[in-house]
Amino acid sequence: MVERIVAQANIRRDLFHCIDVVAVRRGSPGVLGVQATSLPHVGERVAKVRAQPELAVWLAAGNDFEVWGWTRRNGR
């Protein structure tokens, strides 16, 4: 997890304003950056990250990026 909390302002900052989690896998080049959000907000997050110039640099460096949506099912 690469999100940090700015305690004085009580806000959270994502890595490069759009990445919550980074992942690497042996045999796979680059790094995967993930923005995690609730399922109803996936579209909003995709629109937000497309406007981030930092994401273009991240991708140009050979990395990948995905938005993951989660939801509760059967109370879990």
pLDDT, tens only, 11-25: 888 888 889 999 999
pLDDT tens track for 29-66: 999 999 999 999 999 999 999 999 999 999 999 999 99
Would you state the pLDDT for residue 55? 93
How far apart are the C-alpha atoms of 38 and 4, rounded to whole Å? 19
Would you state the pLDDT for residue 32? 96
Q: Are 8 and 2 in contact (CB under 8 A)?
A: no
For every residue of the chain, DSSP letters joined together read: ---EEETTTTEEE-BTTTBSEEE--TTS-S-EEEEEEEGGGHHHHHHHHHT-HHHHHHHHTT-EEEEEEE--STT-
Q: Is the pLDDT of residue 67 over 90?
A: yes
> Per-domain residue ranges for the chain?
4-70
Would you state the pLDDT for residue 21? 93
Top pLDDT among 4 and 48 is at 48
